Amino acid sequence: MNLGNSSKKKRKRLGLFWLGFFVGPILICLVFFRQVLELVRDAFGNILPIFFTPGLLEITLGLLGFSLVILINYFLRSEQRDEWVYLEEPSADDESKKNV
């Protein structure tokens, strides 16, 4: 039995699975269009006021801003790599020249 051939068959079957997985709900939504829109409208009508209460909105925006700053800092630090500053140490020859 050729193992490479069986993995190709599995990939084809998985491709059909994922195609059905994504296309199926879209087709169901098209069939029951009016009910889906009503459900989505009711869900957002009940949930969105909770998310836009002043306290929760401020906390959410604060966490979003903090996350953005941390993410930008992470990418800047990864570009710069070495953050150490190396100071030049004076050798004995340099000190003797200064004393003269």
14-56 pLDDT, tens digit each: 778 888 888 888 888 777 777 778 888 898 888 888 877 888 8
More confident residue, 12 or 54: 54
pLDDT at residue 71 in the model: 93
Q: Give pTM, 2 decimals.
A: 0.35
Output the CA–CA distances (angstroms, integers) from residue 60 to 21, 48, 49, 50, 91, in the order listed.
32, 13, 14, 12, 56
Segment 89-99 mean pLDDT: 69
pLDDT at residue 99 in the model: 64
For residue 53, the 8-state DSSP code is: S
Q: Is the pLDDT reported for residue 1 higher than 60?
A: no
